[in-house]
Amino acid sequence: MKQSTLFRTWAPKQGTSAGPNQSTESAWNTLGGGHVTGTGGTGPGYRRSDDETIDLTSFDHSDDDDLLLAAACDVDDVISMGYDMSADVKVKPTPRETLPGFDVPAGDMWIYPTNYPVRDYQYNIVHTSLFHNTLVTLPTGLGKTFIAAVVMYNFYRWYPTGKIVFSAPTKPLVAQQIEACYDIMGIPREDTTELTGSMQPPQRLKAWRAKRVFFLTPQVMMNDLSRGAVLASDIKCLVIDEAHKATGNYSYCQVVKEIVKYSKQFRVLALSATPGGDTKAIQEVITNLLISKLEIRTDESMDIQRYSHSRKIDKY
């Protein structure tokens, strides 16, 4: 199949380890966070706005509400903050050679597309999201779909037999991501499928066995997990759109709880234009989705201001 996508790759320098987060100690990072390898360093021109990236694995519980409120509402005023999800738990990183289904040679590098203009904030968010369970809050029209496509493609490469899942609460959002994965990253259409509630269970079972990249609603995902149509341990990357809905007993919460019963080696990428309506809701989303990093941008964030005035809704 013809593929016009152009890529830039980054690999570790000779003589250095390719594994990210070699010193991570958070138990939350073992739940799909911090153990999948890709690059040991940063790419050319890599720049990080530290005031807009919040590490939730090193903060103090005593100030959780204030920290989360600042993170959600006024990130430009946040310089150095933390939130310790499991302060007393020490967990050693898993050697990548022992990760079930992980392709070690493919994991020596990660790939970023250059067939679209390279925006620093998108590159930085992708870098974080590859190696940590990340909640991304980004104004509509500034590339959440693009970020998800790049992350999904790299896990598609790293786990040749694993399942990559994109879940959204509505069919239009699902359809948008299908096009992005093909147009931006060139994921072969024959490896992808959309699963809907209108499909009979035997049809979905056949698809789970034959395909690698799946687009579906969280309700369909939970139904197939509970029926055993898909093994939870086969899921290596779970992208959750409209992540602010992950409160209470919503299907997103059920899906993550079900997967974590059987596997601790999967990545969660949560996307939302807003993390939640109040601090408790934000904290609940973070807990329910096993988030260890926040990547927050607002219209006032310095690294997106140049793009905000010309953004187009539903564009990559």
**Residues 99-109: what's their mean pLDDT?**
91
> Would the pLDDT of 294 be above 60?
yes
Q: Give residue 54's pLDDT.
A: 62
Quote the percentage of the chain above a pLDDT of 70: 68
Assess whether pLDDT exceeds 90 at residue 102. yes
| Closest CA relative to residue 114, chosen from 48, 41, 185, 12 | 185
Residue 15 region, left (φ>0) first, then alpha (ψ -120 to 50), else beta? left
Per-residue pLDDT, averaged over 68-80, amounts to: 38
* Res 42: pLDDT: 34
Q: What is the pLDDT of residues 81-91, one digit of tens each?
A: 333 343 334 45
- Which residue's entry shows tokens 């005035």? 309
In angstroms, the Cα distances linking 201 to 195, 206, 225 are 10, 9, 11
